[in-house]
Copies of this chain bind each other. A is one copy, B any other.
Amino acid sequence: MQVAVLQLNQISNMKISMIGAGNVAWHLSIALEDHHHQVCEVYSRKQTKARALVSMLYQAKVKTDLDFSESAADIFIMAVSDDAIAEVCSMLVLPENAILVHTSGTKSLEDLQNLMNTHHDLPIRCGVFYPLMTFSIQKKMSLKDVPFCIEAEESTAEDKLVQLAQSVSNTVYIINSQERKVLHVAAVFACNFTNHLLALAKEITTEENLEFDLLKPLIRETFQKALVADHPADVQTGPAIRGDKSTINKHLVYLNNHPDLFEIYEVMSDSIKKWHS
**Which residues 179-231 of A have a CB within 8 angstroms of B?**
179, 181-202, 204-205, 207-208, 210, 214-223, 225-227, 231
CB contacts (< 8 Å) of A268 on chain B: these are 192-193, 196, 264
| CB of A202 to closest CB in B, whole Å | 6
The stretch from A50-58, A91-99, A118-126, A246-254 touching chain B is: A246-254
CB contacts (< 8 Å) of A175 on chain B: these are 210
Residue of B nearest to A141 (CB): B221
| CB of A55 to closest CB in B, whole Å | 24
State in angstroms the CA–CA spacing of A178 and B188 once bound together: 33
User: In the complex, which of the residues B195, B208, B222, B242 contacts A134, with contact meaning CB atoms closer than 8 Å?
Assistant: B222
CB contacts (< 8 Å) of A231 on chain B: these are 199, 202
Given A192-B237, A198-B226, A264-B268; A133-B220 close (CB under 8 Å): no
Q: DSSP majority for the A interface?
A: helix
**Residue A274 is within 8 A (CB to CB) of chain B in the complex:** yes
State in angstroms the CA–CA spacing of A237 and B188 once bound together: 9
The proximity string for A residues 97-121 relative to B, scoring 1 for CB distances below 8 Å and 0 otherwise, is 0000000011000000000000000
Q: Is the CB of B200 within 8 A of A189?
A: yes
Given A134-B225, A196-B272, A236-B195; A210-B179 close (CB under 8 Å): yes
Residue of B nearest to A206 (CB): B231
State in angstroms the CA–CA spacing of A139 and B224 once bound together: 12
Q: Is the CB of B186 within 8 A of A204?
A: yes
Given A221-B133, A254-B182; A246-B83 close (CB under 8 Å): yes
Q: Which 4 A-B pairs have the closest CB atoms?
A: A192-B238, A190-B201, A198-B232, A199-B233
Task: Give me the interface of A with B, judged by CB distance under 8 Å.
Answer: 81-83, 105-106, 132-136, 139, 141, 145-147, 171, 173, 175, 178-179, 181-202, 204-205, 207-208, 210, 214-223, 225-227, 231-233, 235-242, 244, 246-247, 250-251, 254-255, 260-261, 263-265, 267-268, 270-272, 274-275
Known contacts A198-B223, A202-B231; 13 additional CB pairs below 8 A are: A83-B246, A105-B247, A134-B218, A135-B237, A183-B215, A186-B201, A189-B201, A190-B215, A191-B237, A195-B235, A196-B232, A196-B233, A260-B274
Cβ contacts A to B, 29 pairs, < 8 Å: A82-B246, A83-B246, A106-B247, A134-B221, A136-B235, A139-B225, A141-B221, A145-B217, A181-B254, A182-B208, A182-B254, A186-B204, A188-B239, A189-B201, A189-B204, A190-B218, A192-B237, A192-B239, A192-B240, A192-B272, A194-B197, A195-B225, A196-B272, A197-B197, A198-B223, A199-B231, A199-B275, A202-B233, A219-B223
